[in-house]
Chains A and B, each alone.
Chain A
């Protein structure tokens, strides 16, 4: 790891000032991706701005029909939160299967969403539940937020302060984990909320995406039978030693049907 200047601000305003004033400064939330990246010398930030002491970024609260989760909220807190479990149990379940217990004690929702790893679990929940990503400069709708491989709508000096998830009428997440890394080979989040039915897929492509054909079919008939003949194209899906694009395309259908069945239970 190359050395860097380390900062530990106490407020979002101070963090932003530190990020803006420096060349090549990087914010760090849980560090579960950033620290391994630094160790491999894949990044060389001049400054690391640790958000660990920014109290205003932590915590989970209910606001009307939404569950609002602070950017620095750990996966373990989402998994065990009574509010998340009672209003969006599928989200708590998803959080409880990210990485391993030690990673869940450090990794954060804001960090995961801002990093937008193609195999991360949270982006599927954000898109399927039609959540709103709030930053220090404004709000992003879920659909416009995830732009591509490790790419989001976040600008320079912009950090995720919280994410607002509408309560779900029905929802479930099913993932087919890679047997070794446990990252999602394919993960499908199916949700029925006030804004309709959404099907979001992670792990299969370079970035989370929706399957509109399944959404339309499920809007008419929310059952796994309604989507059994819908095929997802393998074009642009990931192909690697763990599975071909065709295999992943097939898994999307399987995981989507299992998710619908789980959501109907």
Chain B
């Protein structure tokens, strides 16, 4: 079954033809060519595919593209305000060396931003570790990821994002 879908991705209106079974992550990567969102496990465990849909973090490998009809989608590509300036969470990941191979990073960053906002910019280490439940890093580099998120929370607050 071919269906037309239309949604907003990173502030831009996009549309395309998909099958009913097309996953949101396939639509982003294959129809729109936005390969920043990764597919790790494809079984909703690893979180490499996390994007925001209407402001909430979700696993885009476990949502159909047609379910995002009319939604506002934000991906890793939409975070940086310009080519020269990163989002405070991306900046904190760079400053704290919060990645090794980098495969899990897009999902980690998207989950982390949602986490900071849900906790009203106030997080402690135990909360960050618990909230990272749905994101796996096979390099097991969690320590610096946790440090980066704790550093980014006040930076996001002062930047007003």
How big is chain B's contact interface, by range? 20 to 34
Q: List residues of B (39-72) whose CB comes within 8 Å of A's CBs.
A: 42-44, 47, 50, 56-59, 62-64, 66-67, 69
The contact of A106 among B42, B63, B114, B131, by CB within 8 Å, is B63
Contacting residues, chain A, for B133 (C-beta < 8 A): 99-101, 182
Contacting residues, chain A, for B152 (C-beta < 8 A): none
A67 to B21, CA, bound (A): 36
A3 to B21, CA, bound (A): 5
Tell whether A141 is near chain B: CB-to-CB under 8 Å.
Answer: no
Question: Do B43 and A36 have beta carbons less than 8 Å apart?
Answer: yes
Tell whether A239 is near chain B: CB-to-CB under 8 Å.
Answer: no
Question: Do A52 and B67 have beta carbons less than 8 Å apart?
Answer: yes
**With A31-B63, A32-B44 known to touch, is A3 a contact of B20 (CB < 8 Å)?**
yes
Task: Encode A78-105 as 1/0 by CB contact (under 8 A) with B.
Answer: 0000000000000000000001111101
Question: Do B57 and A101 have beta carbons less than 8 Å apart?
Answer: yes
Question: Do A4 and B63 have beta carbons less than 8 Å apart?
Answer: no
A106 to B58, CA, bound (A): 7
The contact of A101 among B20, B67, B115, by CB within 8 Å, is B115
Most A Cβ at <10 Å: residue of B3, B59, B67, B69: B67
Tell whether B77 is near chain A: CB-to-CB under 8 Å.
Answer: no
Question: Do A50 and B62 have beta carbons less than 8 Å apart?
Answer: no
Closest to A104 in B: B134
**With A6-B20, A103-B134 known to touch, is A31 a contact of B47 (CB < 8 Å)?**
no
Contacting residues, chain B, for A2 (C-beta < 8 A): 21
**With A52-B67, A106-B63 known to touch, is A6 a contact of B56 (CB < 8 Å)?**
no
Smallest beta-carbon distance A152→chain B, Å: 23
Question: Do A101 and B63 have beta carbons less than 8 Å apart?
Answer: no
A3 to B23, CA, bound (A): 11
Return 13 A-B CB contacts under 8 Å, by A number: A3-B19, A5-B20, A6-B1, A6-B3, A6-B20, A6-B64, A8-B69, A35-B62, A48-B20, A99-B133, A100-B133, A100-B135, A105-B57
Apart from A101-B57, A102-B50, A106-B63: 4 A-B pairs, beta carbons within 8 A = A52-B67, A101-B114, A101-B115, A106-B62
